[in-house]
């Protein structure tokens, strides 16, 4: 298993070793000792699974209390996954990093607490899994507007394609007005 730091410290691209043959493949998606050695010392309390159609954009979400670290991966399809640093005291505050996660590359992304998170589906559909370090608390959930001009996130949508948004995501808060951590 390889743990590759991204340009924002703490956000880590995880590349598991895939053992494949004519029958299919096998890979580890979590092994506490290996992840701790790779700098990710996490205890997970909740697993989530979402299914989304092409161009569905979910995010940018975080919890103001009961903050969550998330280990995310895709089991079918392809997404572009984004983490935005919302830690006011961080030298990378307000910066974002994005990676492509797919069923083909088997990569995972560790998004620690202190980041807003979102993804957009680039394939026809995608099954997206995420393990969380704290429980979902809807009363503490917050959302930054996906297309906030101060962030300038390139969601890799094709020219002219509009994202499919939930009502909540369509009216997210501007980054400059958000409740930071």
3-class secondary-structure state, position 121: strand
| Beta strands across the sheet bearing 141-143 | 96-102, 78-85, 115-121, 57-63, 141-143
- What does DSSP say about strands 108-111 and 70-76: parallel, antiparallel, or unpaired? antiparallel
Do residues 119 and 82 touch, judged by C-beta distance below 8 A? yes
3-class secondary-structure state, position 104: coil
For residue 155, give Cα distances in angstroms to 59, 119, 120: 11, 8, 7
Distance CA 70, CA 53 (A): 22
- Catalytic residue numbers read 61, 130
């Amino acid at each position: 298993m390889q743990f590759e730091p991204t340009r924002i410290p703490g956000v880590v691209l995880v590349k598991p070793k895939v053992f494949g043959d004519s029958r299919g493949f096998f890979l580890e998606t979590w092994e506490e000792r290996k992840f701790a050695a790779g700098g990710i010392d996490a205890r997970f309390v909740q697993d989530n699974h979402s299914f989304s159609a092409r161009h569905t954009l979910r995010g940018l979400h975080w919890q103001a209390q009961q903050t969550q670290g998330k280990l995310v991966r895709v089991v079918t399809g392809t997404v572009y996954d984004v983490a935005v640093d919302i830690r006011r005291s961080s030298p990378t505050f307000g910066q974002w990093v994005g990676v492509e996660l797919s069923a083909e590359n088997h990569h995972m992304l560790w998004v620690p607490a202190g980041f807003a998170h979102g993804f957009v589906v680039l394939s026809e559909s995608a099954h997206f899994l995420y393990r969380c370090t704290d429980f979902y608390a809807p009363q503490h959930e917050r959302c930054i507007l996906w297309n906030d001009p101060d962030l300038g996130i390139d969601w890799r949508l094709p020219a002219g394609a509009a994202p499919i948004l939930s009502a909540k995501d369509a009216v997210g808060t501007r980054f400059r007005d958000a409740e930071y951590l």
